[in-house]
Amino acid sequence: MSTLRQALYGIALLGALALLTWGQQQRINVAESQTELANTAAKTARENADRNLATANTLTATLKQERDAQSLLRSQQDQLRLGLAKRERTIEELKRENTELRDWAAQPLPDAARRLRERPAFTGAAAYRDWLSGRGAVRAASDQPAQ
């Protein structure tokens, strides 16, 4: 029986070794699949990071362009204000020097000119568009009204 016992021990040992090997192979398969998943996730994260970096660079460039445009508009606005102030000073000087001009400037506007400057208070762009559309069209000089 000792040889039979040794044979059974040998078979049991081989079975345990096979079971251990099979368990290790299963762990290796799980680790490989997790590695693949991690690599896929890392690749996706890199692609997202690259896309976000490109978007951030585009937004930075757009912001710089808009700031430059705003700076240009501010300088143009300053130049226009200076030009307007200069024109207003010139008009005031001319009014002081020329009595005809002063008398003419003191007269009220004619009714037709005053109506051109009249407009109601608007509550938005649509109201302004409706007001403009509702106004009577100006006739051309060649059109004569029917009498």
Q: Distance (Å, rounded) from C-alpha 129 to C-alpha 121? A: 13
49: number of CA atoms within 13 Å, CB side?
6
Residue 135 lies in a domain: no
Tens digit of pLDDT at every position of the chain (147 positions): 688 889 899 999 999 999 999 999 999 999 999 999 999 999 999 999 999 999 999 999 999 999 999 999 999 999 999 999 999 999 889 888 888 888 888 888 888 888 777 777 888 888 888 877 776 555 555 655 555
Residue 115 lies in a domain: no
Q: Would you state the torsion angle of the CA atoms of residues 16, 19, 24, 25, taken in this order, to the nearest 10 degrees? A: 150
Residue 41 lies in a domain: yes
Q: What are the distances in angstroms from CA 82 to CA 70, 77, 79, 90, 129? A: 18, 9, 5, 12, 32
Query: What's the total number of domains in the chain?
Result: 1
The domain in which residue 42 lies consists of: 2-80
Residue 147 lies in a domain: no
Return the pLDDT at 120.
Answer: 76
Return the pLDDT at 60.
Answer: 97
35: number of CA atoms within 13 Å, CB side?
6
Return the pLDDT at 117.
Answer: 75
Residue 31 lies in a domain: yes
> Which residue's entry shows tokens 């051309």?
140
Residue 6 lies in a domain: yes
